[in-house]
Chains A and B, each alone.
Chain A
Amino acid sequence: MPLEAFGPLSARGGGLRRRAVNVLAIGACVLAAAIILLPLALIVWHLAAKGLPAFRPSFFLHMPKPVGEAGGGMANAIVGTLILVGLGALIAVPVGVGTGVYLAEYGGGRMSAIVRYTADLLAGVPSIVVGVAAYGLVVVPMGRFSAIAGGVALGILMLPTIVRTTEEVVRLVPQSYRHAALALGAPRWRVLQSVVVPAAWSGIATAIMLALARAAGETAPLLFTALGNRFWSLALDQPMASLPVFIFDYARAPYDDWNRQAWTGALVLLLVIATISALMRITTRRVAGSR
């Protein structure tokens, strides 16, 4: 909306037309906010309405049942999601935090500029593309779909968030902390380990949790890495069930009962993500408070 749309600026005194345009334009903005928030509110409402009926303890404890048998749960998918996200974190946390600290502490040169840019680009890569790459990198050499392949895909997706957020929070640690530690005779690695990283820890924890929450909801990269599994399996070199893939399969199935369970699965997935986010807030607050 360019300025001209609202009429000439120089016209002094309130013409009726200008006042009408003013009211209309402001009304349009309020209306836009209402229109866009409506579907978002509807999604949350439908999740609760359609997901709650099957939301019982058995959903968390039982295995999926064959078609036609009532009941059944997604115990294996819930555990599978936790394992896959854990595997991803195992890869992404050391690399991501290390890189973030590197960028903040040693990041003046060309190498860090390239890494920073790469992390930004990685953040924009569609998750399905990461899935295709993980298929070629892990599934093909291993000869089968596996939880490890899924973990690698999720780890790659977590990296950019952890890298960039860690860099930010480490930069926020006041220079005077470093100067004080160096003045006491601490070598640089000791300054990082005992002063800078602890001071930034609450922020780093937030970054990790944020990445975990996002990875927990990813479906596309798991479709042809971890694949899915209707049975209980904790083996890392075998296909593994995950909540998002389960929801996808159940939502596409032509059975009403499965569709209902897909809604409940979506509600559980959202709860998992909300729990991670809540943990994030609690750790942030506690560490911030203890300092």
Chain B
Amino acid sequence: MIFVTVGMHTKGFDRLLKKMDEIAAASGEEVVMQIGHTSFRPQSAKWFDFTTDAGIKEWCKKVRVVVTQPAMSILDAQEQGTPVIVVPRLKQYDEVIDDHQLDFARELEKEGKVIAVYDVEKLEEALKKVDLRLPELARDRKLVNALKKYIAQFERK
């Protein structure tokens, strides 16, 4: 089973959802989508627009792979230990205001934290290969500790 999530973004992500719906039809694998503000309505995949935090986590846990935009949803999948394929939203398709998701996907891919797919035509192939286990991802303690340090400083003043 595959979970596709496009988050809270105010723009739709038709390109990804259409392709994943095609893949659902062709492969027969169960695909569940959180479509957010996308206007396209999947035919072969199950879908809903939004759900709760717990709902997203549950779907991330149930599936063999999460397909999403490179954004905070990566953390939901990572918490459940599920591999992630990211597809950046692109400015040229009016999916986002600039191409920051493209930069971000490239960096995460370099660090081996996600599988990045830039052309949706390559999704099917990427989905077949996901069984390779991704390295275990751990939350960076540094940022949490830095915040604690600043909070303590402000308290003393």
Do the two chains belong together in a single complex? Answer: no
